[in-house]
C-alpha cells in the first residue's frame, strides 16, 4: 500500500489573528476576542500568542484576563470576517490538492499523497503553504505532517505558532506514546477520568490494554482508538467539494436576563426555531427528531429529546413541538439563563410524507417567501413580532 502524506493545517489564534491582520498597529500587542460582559457572555473566546504569554486563557472571564494583562486589547467577534478568511485559506489549500476536509472554521486536513512531489518533500510543501498563508492573508498557521489524520492533527498542536511538525511513520511511537492522553482529539475531561480509572495517563498505555476491556469500558470506539494509536488509521480525507450530510442542526442562546414564564421561554424558542428552520431549508433538509436543553441560573442543565410525528423544516412546527417537549419535563419554577434546540434525524426535504391536516403547499410558499426576503435584504429584515422591544433576547450570538 502506498504510504499516505496527510497535512493538518491549523490557523493560529484564528479570531484574534484576523483582528490583528486588519489592524496592523496591534501587531505587537496582546489581543483577545471576547463576548460582551453586559450580555453575560464575557469570556475570552480566543487570544493571540502575546496574550497567551501573560497567562490569558480561553474560557476565562474578561475580568480575570484583565488582572493578568491590564493592557489586553479586546474585540467582539466578527464572524463574517472570520468566514471570509476561512474561505481564503481553503482557496490556498486547494491549489495543492483536491482533498481538503474542513474541521471547523480554522482547521483543515489535506491529503497530498499524490501531489507533494511536485513541490519537494512533505516538509517543503508544508512550509510553502505556511509561507503563502502568511504572505497572502497576514496570519499564520501551524502544519502537522504525518501518514494519517489523527497524527497529523496531533502534530499541528505540538508546536505553535507558525511551525511545521512531522510525525514520521517509522518513529511515531517514540514521539506519541509518552504524551498525555488528553493530547489526542476526542479525549476530554470525562473520558480522561475513565481512562485514569484503568491507570492510563499516557497514550502509549492505551495500546497495552486488552481489547475486551476497552470494549467493555468504552465500546467499539475504544478499540478503534487503540488501533489508530498502533498506526492502523485509514480514515480518508474528503474531497473539498464533498459536503458531508450534517447529523443535526441546532442553535442556542443565553438570555440577557433570566426568564421564568412559559411565555418568555416560548419567545426564545420561537427565535431559535426561526433560525434553525431557515438553515434546514437552506441546506435542503427536514427533521424528524427534536431535542431541547435548558440551563438554569445556577448552571444546572436539563435535556430531553423525541422523535416527532411529522418531518418538518417549518418554524411553527418546531415551536409547537419544542414547547410540548419542554412542558413534559419543565415546571417553570426556576430561573432560566440559556436554551438550546436541536433538530436531528435529517432527511431530504424533497421527499416529504404528506400530512392531511397541514396545507403543505401554503406553508412551503410562505417559508420560501421569507427565505427570499432574508436572502435579499438580510436575515433580520423580517423577524417574528416577539423580537420587537424584547430586551431579554440577545440574538447576536445565534448562528444563521
What gap in Å lies between CA 30 and CA 27, rounded to an integer?
Answer: 8
Distance CA(282)–CA(367), nearest Å, equals 11
| CA-atom Rg of the chain in angstroms | 24
Catalytic residue among 19, 107, 264, 321: 107
How far apart CA 370 and CA 359 sit, in angstroms, is 17
The structure's pTM equals 0.65
- C-beta separation of 325 from 304 below 8 A: yes
Angle CA(76)–CA(188)–CA(218) in degrees, nearest 5? 150
Q: Which domains does the chain have, with CATH numbers?
A: 1-176 (3.30.70.270), 178-229 (1.10.150.20), 248-397 (3.30.1490.100)
Measured between alpha carbons, how far is 109 from 103 in angstroms, rounded to an integer? Answer: 7
Judge whether 107 counts as a catalytic residue.
yes
**Residues 6+ positions from 43 with CB-CB distance below 8 Å:** 34, 35, 59, 60, 61, 62
Three-class SS state of 47? strand
Nearest CA to 11 out of 193, 138, 124 is that of 138
Give the pLDDT of the chain (400 residues) as one tens digit per residue.
Answer: 678 999 999 999 999 999 999 998 998 999 999 877 666 567 898 999 999 999 999 888 899 999 999 999 999 888 889 989 999 999 999 999 989 998 888 999 999 999 999 999 999 999 999 999 999 999 999 999 999 999 999 999 999 999 999 999 999 999 999 999 999 988 888 889 999 999 999 999 999 999 999 999 998 989 999 999 999 988 899 775 555 567 889 988 888 888 999 999 999 999 899 889 988 988 889 999 999 999 998 888 899 999 999 999 999 999 999 999 999 999 999 999 999 999 999 988 775 544 444 444 444 555 565 555 545 555 444 555 554 445 444 444 434 3
CA–CA gap between residue 100 and residue 112 (Å, rounded) = 9
Q: How far is CA 300 from CA 262, 340, 393, in A?
A: 18, 13, 20
Amino acid at each position: 500500500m502506498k504510504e499516505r502524506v496527510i497535512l493538518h493545517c491549523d490557523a493560529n489564534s484564528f479570531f484574534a489573528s484576523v483582528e490583528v491582520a486588519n489592524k496592523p498597529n496591534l501587531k505587537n500587542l496582546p489581543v483577545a476576542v471576547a463576548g460582551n460582559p453586559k450580555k453575560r457572555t464575557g469570556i475570552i473566546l480566543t487570544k493571540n500568542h502575546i496574550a497567551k504569554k501573560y497567562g490569558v486563557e480561553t474560557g476565562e472571564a474578561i475580568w480575570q484576563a484583565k488582572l493578568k494583562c491590564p493592557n489586553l486589547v479586546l474585540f467582539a467577534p466578527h464572524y463574517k470576517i472570520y468566514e471570509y478568511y476561512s474561505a481564503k485559506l481553503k482557496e490556498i489549500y486547494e491549489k495543492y490538492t483536491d482533498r481538503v476536509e474542513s474541521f471547523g472554521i480554522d482547521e483543515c486536513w489535506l491529503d497530498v499523497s499524490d501531489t507533494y512531489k511536485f513541490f519537494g518533500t512533505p516538509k517543503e510543501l508544508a512550509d510553502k503553504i505556511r509561507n503563502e498563508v502568511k504572505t497572502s492573508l497576514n496570519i499564520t498557521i501551524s502544519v502537522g505532517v504525518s501518514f494519517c489524520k489523527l497524527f497529523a492533527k496531533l502534530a499541528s498542536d505540538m508546536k505553535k505558532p507558525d511551525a511545521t511538525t512531522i510525525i514520521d511513520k517509522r518513529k511515531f511511537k517514540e514521539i506519541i506514546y509518552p504524551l498525555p492522553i488528553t493530547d489526542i482529539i476526542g479525549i476530554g475531561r470525562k473520558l480522561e477520568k475513565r481512562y485514569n480509572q484503568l491507570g492510563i495517563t499516557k497514550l502509549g498505555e492505551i495500546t497495552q490494554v486488552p481489547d475486551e476491556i476497552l470494549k467493555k469500558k468504552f465500546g467499539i470506539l475504544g478499540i478503534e482508538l487503540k488501533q489508530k494509536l498502533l498506526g492502523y488509521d485509514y480514515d480518508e480525507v474528503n474531497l473539498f467539494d464533498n459536503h458531508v450530510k450534517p447529523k443535526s442542526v441546532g442553535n442556542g442562546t443565553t438570555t440577557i436576563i433570566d426568564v421564568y414564564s412559559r411565555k418568555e421561554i416560548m419567545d426564545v424558542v420561537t427565535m431559535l426555531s426561526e433560525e434553525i428552520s431557515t438553515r434546514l431549508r437552506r441546506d435542503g433538509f427536514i427533521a424528524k427528531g427534536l431535542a431541547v436543553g435548558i440551563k438554569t441560573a445556577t448552571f444546572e442543565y436539563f435535556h430531553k429529546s423525541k422523535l416527532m410525528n411529522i418531518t418538518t423544516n417549518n418554524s411553527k412546527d418546531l415551536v409547537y413541538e419544542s414547547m410540548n417537549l419542554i412542558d413534559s419535563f419543565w415546571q417553570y419554577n426556576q430561573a432560566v439563563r440559556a436554551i438550546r434546540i436541536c433538530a436531528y434525524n435529517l432527511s431530504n426535504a424533497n421527499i416529504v410524507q404528506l400530512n392531511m391536516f397541514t396545507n403543505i403547499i401554503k406553508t412551503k410558499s410562505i417559508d420560501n417567501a421569507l427565505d427570499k426576503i432574508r436572502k435579499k435584504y438580510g436575515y433580520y429584515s423580517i423577524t417574528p413580532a416577539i423580537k420587537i422591544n424584547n430586551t431579554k433576547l440577545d440574538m447576536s450570538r445565534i448562528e444563521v
